[in-house]
Structure formats: structure tokens, C-alpha cells
Amino acid sequence: MIKQILDTNKIRLIVFPGGFNWPLWIAIEKNWFKEYGVDLEINLTPSSVHQISGLINNNFDLAITLIDNVIAYKNNQGEVPILGGDLIGLMACDTNSLPNLVTLPQIKSYTELKGTRLCVDALTTGYAFLLKAMLEHSGLKETDFEVVSAGGVQQRYQSLINGEYSGALFNAPFEGMLKEKGFNIIDNGSSVAINYQGQVLAGNATWVNSHSELTAKFILIFLKAVNWLYDLDNYNEAILIFDKNQKNSNAGYGPACYQSLLHKSKGFPSDGKIQLAGVSNVINLRNKYHKGLNPLPDKPQAYVDMTILEHVLKSSF
């Protein structure tokens, strides 16, 4: 089953900035990619549009992205009109913790968001529908607020700092950084979606199938790093590696991120398994808020292939 067609060991990976890249930082620091013969190139994306369109066009080989992006672009419901019919989710790369809604210092409740503009990465993918569900759940109507596309997490972070928008969704460490600056955390995505599959390792099935050995190595290394992080004997070293990779303003948030990302029940899945029930919830939320003509069938298995992951878990990990 595991095969390598092309004579290459290079993986062009594209990810968003953030603490959930911690396993990658560990693996790089430990030279595990080199040890397994993987030449990893990490690219940071400014937005999901750049990330997914680049993946579809084979500018990148693998991506760590929200499963909602896979679902959206596979069904031509993406932010831009590009079809990613070959996209597939391979492994869960995210915690079971959903993002927090962070608002400007002067806004301390949902009521105060009325008449304001909030920002997301993209309007038709990612956490955009989760944010709308949270706002609706609070009692606000769609006409009470405006949601605007502002790009990736760093762009949204800076936009909030500049006071351009009233609020946005953030994961660690960004929500902690904003809270320290006087911003408010008024809610968490779990208020509307308890089981919601977040980020996954994704790729084009054609590339993955022709590079299954290389993909298996990546999955093995990533899971090795996740389990290394869960070992409390490695805690101090893990924090040092976190600070080294966050640099400047983001350094010092390692302990808080560890509590969130390595939480016993809500942290990174140590086996990397994608929760199909969580994918179903993503599909259902998309059907509720996307303005498409036809609802998507509730078939989470159409967006997930854990064959290589299962092989790794059985034979190598």
C-alpha cells in the first residue's frame, strides 16, 4: 500500500502561523525530518485563499488547514471560484478546543457588538460560519452586525490591535496576547459546536497516493512530536522550543498554550484520528449558513481518507 513513485523526499507544506505548529517545531529541533529522510519546506500562508488555491494548483504538496476548507473547495463553495475536487483530509492536526471570540476593550458583551464589524479570514470558509452561529446564538440577528474578510490570523490580530474591527475568533497564543493588552474574551466556539473538527493535514489525493511513503513519514513524525509534547518530562524543553519559534512579541506564552494545546481531553489527538462526527457538524453548519442552491450530503467520509494514518498506527507507531 505504501509506495513512492517519484524519486523525491521533498514536502512543500503550507500552514497558518500559530501555536498549533508546535509539533512541527519539535520535530525540526530534534532533526526527525532529516532522520527519516524528509526534506520539509514550511510556508506560512497569509490567508486560506492563498493556501488552498496554492494546494489545488500544486504549488504546495500538503497543508494543515481547516477541514471546512477541504469541504468547501471540494464542492466549489470556496471564497474564490476554484474547484478542489481532489482534496482530502488525512489526519487531525488540531485540538478539540474551539477558538475564542475576542473583542475590543470597550466591548464586553454580545449586545455591544450590535452595529459593528467583525472580521474573519474568509467569508465562505473556515470559522466564518462558526462565528455567525455564535452571534446568532447570542440573540443577534444577521442585520445587527457585519462580517468582513480580513485575511489570516496575523492580519486579523493586527487589525484588532488597530481598532479596525470589533472582534474576531482566535486560538492560542493570539487570544492570550490580546487579553493581556486589555481585549475581552466573551465566548468560545463550544457554545454552539461541542464536537467540531478543526484543522487536518490535507492534500490532493493524486499527489498523496503517488507519495504515500513520504506522506506516511510525515504523519509518523508529526505524531511522534505530539506524543513527545505530552510527556511532562519534556515540558521545560518544549517551552524553550516554543519561545524560540514564536520570537519577539509571542514569546512567553508557552505555558498558557501548553495548557490549551496539550489539555488531557481537549488537546492534540495523540493518534491523529479525524472525528467523522465532528466533520458532520462542520457540514451541517455549512449547510445552514452557506447560500448554496443545494445542501451538501452529510457524508463526512467523502472528505477523509485515513488509510495511510491507520497504516502508520498499526506498523510504525
User: How many independent structural domains does the chain possess?
Assistant: 2
Answer whether 66's CB lies under 8 Å from 48's CB. yes
Residue 82 scores a pLDDT above 90: yes
Answer whether 210's CB lies under 8 Å from 308's CB. no
Give the C-alpha separation, 271 to 220, whole Å.
10
Whether residue 215 sits in one domain with residue 79: yes
Whether residue 219 sits in one domain with residue 76: yes
> For the segment 100-130, what is each residue's pLDDT rounded down to a tens digit?
999 999 999 999 999 999 999 999 998 999 9
Interacting residues of 119 by C-beta distance below 8 A, sequence separation 6+: 147, 148, 149, 150, 156, 159, 160, 164, 165, 167, 168
Whether residue 208 sits in one domain with residue 180: no
- Which CATH number characterizes residue 181's domain? 3.40.190.10
Q: How far is CA 144 from CA 114, 140, 247, in A?
A: 5, 6, 39
pLDDT at position 265 = 85
Residue 1 scores a pLDDT above 80: no
Total Cβ atoms within 10 A of residue 251 = 14
pLDDT at position 250 = 56
Give the C-alpha separation, 291 to 293, whole Å.
7
Q: What predicted TM-score, i.e. pTM, was given to this entire model?
A: 0.92
> For the segment 145-191, what is each residue's pLDDT rounded down to a tens digit?
999 999 999 999 999 999 999 999 998 888 988 999 999 999 999 99
Answer whether 309's CB lies under 8 Å from 219's CB. yes
Q: Is residue 4 part of a domain?
A: no
Total Cβ atoms within 10 A of residue 68 = 29
2 pLDDT tier (thresholds 50, 70, 90): very low
Q: Is residue 5 part of a domain?
A: no
Q: Is residue 1 part of a domain?
A: no
- Could you tell me which of 172, 171, 202 has the C-alpha nearest to residue 67? 202
- 192 or 6, higher pLDDT: 192
In the listed set 142, 163, 191, which residue is the last one of a domain according to the structure?
Answer: 191
> For the segment 55-80, what is each residue's pLDDT rounded down to a tens digit?
999 999 999 999 999 999 999 999 99
Q: Between helices 128-137 and 276-289, what is the axis angle to 10°?
A: 70
- Could you tell me which of 161, 162, 134, 138 has the C-alpha nearest to residue 147? 134
Cell (9 digits) for 115: 452595529
Cis amide bond preceding 173, omega within 30 = yes
Average pLDDT for the chain: 93
Whether residue 202 sits in one domain with residue 185: no
Give the C-alpha separation, 250 to 174, whole Å.
8
pLDDT at position 210 = 96
In the listed set 136, 169, 191, which residue is the last one of a domain according to the structure?
Answer: 191
Q: Which domain holds residue 84?
A: 10-94+196-315
Q: Is residue 82 part of a domain?
A: yes
pLDDT at position 315 = 85
Answer whether 304's CB lies under 8 Å from 88's CB. yes
208 pLDDT tier (thresholds 50, 70, 90): very high
> For the segment 234-258, what is each residue's pLDDT rounded down to a tens digit?
999 999 999 999 865 555 789 988 9
Least confident range of 57-61, 168-172, 292-296, 305-309: 292-296
Q: Between helices 235-250 and 254-261, what is the axis angle to 10°?
A: 120
CA 88 to chain CA mean position, Å: 15
